Amino acid sequence: MGRNPVTWLGSPAFPTAARTALADDQLRRNLKHATGLIRNKRAGVVAELPDWEQLRLSGEAIKDDVLAHLDTYLLQFEESVKARGGVVHWAADAAEANEIVVRLAREAGADEVVKIKSMATMEIGLNEALEADGITPIETDLAELIVQLGNDRPSHILVPAIHKNRTEIRDIFKATMPDTADLTDEPVELAAAARAFLRRKFLSAKVAVSGANFGVAETGSVVIVESEGNGRMCLTLPDTLISVMGIEKLVPTWQDLEVFLQLLPRSSTAERMNPYTSIWSGVTPGDGPQNFHLVLVDNGRTDTLASTVGRQALRCIRCSACLNVCPVYERTGGQAYGSVYPGPIGAILAPQLGGDMHDKHAASLPYASSLCGACFEVCPVRIDIPSVLVHLRSEAVAAKSSFSPEAIGMAAMAWVMAGPRRFHVAQRLATAGRLLARGGKIRKLPFSGSKWTDSRDLPAPAKESFSAWWKRTRG
């Protein structure tokens, strides 16, 4: 599976996928309705708190402290987990993390595992690794289940099936679930069908796999927040629990956790508090899972930490607020990014966790933004996403060969613009380019101009340049 499947295997370049999304009217309607609803609700619950900006500043300060002393907090966290009966595993990359989880599931005698919604397990491609070893992963979050049964890909951090409406969901359930021939698209019936399907899985599962929203260093506690209760079923019924956690998810103390349990629900689900907040510390004899394994995953995070500008992306608490205000995401959806992490946060996480700005797809993601700044305004931990995007764009340019078509083209333009005579000749040639235009747009240019027109139209040049007009009218 390579070092890191942060970007989807075989994913298309962003412009191609974006054009496909823009042509899907149903997807765009679904997105506009859902993101607009969440965005407006979030604004309402945030306005209730007079100290919201102080909470954001506190969240930023706590996360920056963790990143500055990550080595110390990680060792404290490990000791705290072990002291309470848990087993800690360290994974340098996706392949190592997957190997650990697959081995633990096999040792527990499982050929099927139930899973709590987890961005970290999607990041490392855990489902694919389990299936390759003959173990069936069952997503228990309703939206994740819809995506999985539909053989689809998630398109939103918080609501993975945001691009599906209820009629499409009914069709997926009827095609994949038993006893659903008469199923309608009423939400109550859809939820009941999913509940009946999952209940059988919960009662037979030997192993559950979770992610983690937070880890508390001083107590070794792992925290999961959710809205449905399916996660709690995974955390209590199976005998073995395996939690996969990015090393940046720590908070130092219980008091620090208080800040994030106010920031996260308002920013993500637009709720004052999460319906289910589950916290466990190691193993409790006779109650819940009797085997707890924590897999701490690096997978490019240490490399990201080394960047003074890019490291702030590691503050992210996966709330998805930036997606709900992004004008690009709202029109293209998450799948157009070809990345596990879509939207503005994905545009700065994927290139860094991928660890290689020579990766053509990952390097293109920072350009999937208008730099409007709305994402920074809503980020609960004040990640300056536009600044990181500009930083990563500069790194992508620096990584390119000086003999690339783009570099040669820019050098040629610099030479043309350096002299007025050359510039005026170029203007006259550009005016002649109107012969290629149709309806005021040039839709296809020869190489290397085709690199532009493959994904966007070029406005037709004016009939007359400004300098030519000035000379003609002002003498």
60 inside domain: yes
Are the beta carbons of 278 and 227 closer than 8 angstroms? no
- For residue 448, whether the previous peptide bond is cis, meaning omega lies within 30 degrees of 0, is yes
Q: What is the pLDDT of residue 331?
A: 85
Query: What beta strand segments (E) does 202-356 contain?
Result: 207-210, 214-216, 221-226, 240-246, 250-251, 276-280, 291-297
Task: Note whether 295 and 434 are same-domain residues.
Answer: no
Cα maximum dimension of the chain: 95
If asked whether residues 57 and 189 sit together in one domain, one would say yes
Total number of domains in the chain: 2
Are 202 and 75 in the same domain?
A: yes
Residue 56 lies in a domain: yes
pLDDT at position 9, please? 42
pLDDT of residue 2: 43
Whether residue 293 is found in the same domain as residue 419: no
According to the model, what pLDDT value does residue 159 have? 87
The confidence score (pLDDT) of residue 19 equals 61
Under DSSP, is residue 174 helix (H, G, I), strand (E, B) or coil?
helix
Q: Tell me, yes or no, whether 76 and 201 share the same domain.
A: yes
Whether 21 and 154 map to the same domain: the answer is yes
Assign residue 113 the CATH number of its domain.
3.40.50.10420
Asked if residue 381 belongs to a domain, the reply is: no
Rg of the chain (C-alpha set): 25
Let me know if residue 372 belongs to a domain. Answer: no
Domain boundary among 278, 302, 326: 302
Q: Which domain holds residue 77?
A: 14-302
Question: In whole angstroms, what is the distance from residue 299 CA to residue 353 CA?
Answer: 7
Q: Which of 269, 302, 335 is the last residue of a domain?
A: 302
Residue 354 within a domain: no
Answer whether residue 244 is part of any domain.
yes
- 302, 323, 338: which is the final residue of a domain? 302
Q: Do both 298 and 177 map to the same domain?
A: yes
Is residue 266 located within the same domain as residue 125? yes
Q: What is the pLDDT of residue 377?
A: 97
Based on the fold, state whether residues 117 and 264 are members of the same structural domain. yes
User: What are the pLDDT tens digits along the chain (475 aa)?
Assistant: 344 566 544 444 455 666 666 677 777 788 888 888 999 999 999 999 999 999 999 999 999 999 999 999 999 999 999 999 999 999 999 999 999 999 999 999 999 999 999 999 999 999 999 999 999 999 999 999 999 999 998 889 988 998 899 999 999 999 999 999 999 999 999 999 999 999 999 999 999 999 999 999 999 999 999 999 999 999 999 999 999 999 999 999 999 999 999 999 999 999 999 999 999 999 999 999 999 999 999 999 999 999 999 999 999 999 999 999 999 998 888 888 888 999 999 999 999 997 554 567 888 899 989 999 999 999 999 999 999 999 999 988 888 788 877 788 888 889 999 998 999 888 888 887 787 888 888 888 887 678 778 878 888 888 888 888 888 898 6
Structure pTM?
Answer: 0.86
- Domain shared by 114 and 231, yes or no: yes
- Residue 207 forms part of a structural domain: yes
297 and 436 within one domain = no
Evaluate whether residue 293 is within a structural domain: yes
User: 38 with 157: CB under 8 angstroms?
Assistant: no
